[in-house]
Amino acid sequence: MPTTRTTEFNPDCRSCPRLVSFLDQTGKKYPQYHSRPVAPFGDQEARLLIVGLAPGMHGANATGRPFTGDYAGILLYETLYEFGLSNKPVSASASDGLELTNCRITNAVKCLPPQNKPQLAEIKQCNDYLRRELDLLPDQSVIIALGKIAHDAVLRANALRLASYPFGHANIHRISDARVLVDSYHCSRYNTQTRRLTQEMFREIFRIACDYLGQHT
């Protein structure tokens, strides 16, 4: 297995020139926005880690908290609340008092990418942060990957062959003795409005995760 690095999250990271340039432009256009790398959010000792794609322009990039302030967060936080993983069903701002229990949320890429499409080099550059987050998970943990980019990022962080673990909604992968990866379509506006991802389909992902965690509602 190749030697890998683990890196603590750096809120001042400027390692990706294209993303740095775009964040600087966004910050000038929207001076009230966070417009910096977005830190993981939630319970530090959580056994459930949810991995998304990247901050949204008017969501996490604005508020500084994953899936907060944009459409993609609506279904996610409603579902977390339903399964007892959150104290509120709505995530409005980083100062709204919302807390997660046994759950943590992060992104494969911590900075806002143009057109919400990070380049492969940027995903790989940011993978050290994700690897660190995975290393800190307790044993018998579950990772939910929201979309294929998040799925692939988790596999890269574990130095696993992507072809050996195909992405598919509700696919379940045992990626180590102590880790299970559960795939889900991303809870984006496009996926929910076209019903590629329904509320019941998303709930099923969390039923699977909670079954593995031994946590029932």
For 15-28, write each residue's pLDDT tens digit: 999 999 999 999 99
Within-domain flag for 202: yes
> What digits encode the pLDDT tens for the residues 36-86?
999 999 999 999 999 999 999 999 999 999 999 999 999 999 999 999 999
Burial class (CB in 10 A: 0-12, 13-18, 19+), 194: exposed
> Which range marks the domain in which residue 59 is found?
40-213
Within-domain flag for 49: yes
Within-domain flag for 154: yes
User: Could you tell me which residues are beta bridge partners of residue 104?
Assistant: 42, 49
Within-domain flag for 27: no
Does this model's pTM top 0.85? My answer is yes
Within-domain flag for 15: no
Integer Cα distance of 213 and 217 in angstroms: 12
> What digits encode the pLDDT tens for the residues 151-162?
999 999 999 999
Residue-by-residue DSSP string for 107-136: ESS-SPPGGG---HHHHHHHHHHHHHHHHT
Within-domain flag for 34: no
CATH number of the CATH domain containing 152: 3.40.470.10
Count the domains in the chain.
1
Within-domain flag for 35: no
Within-domain flag for 199: yes
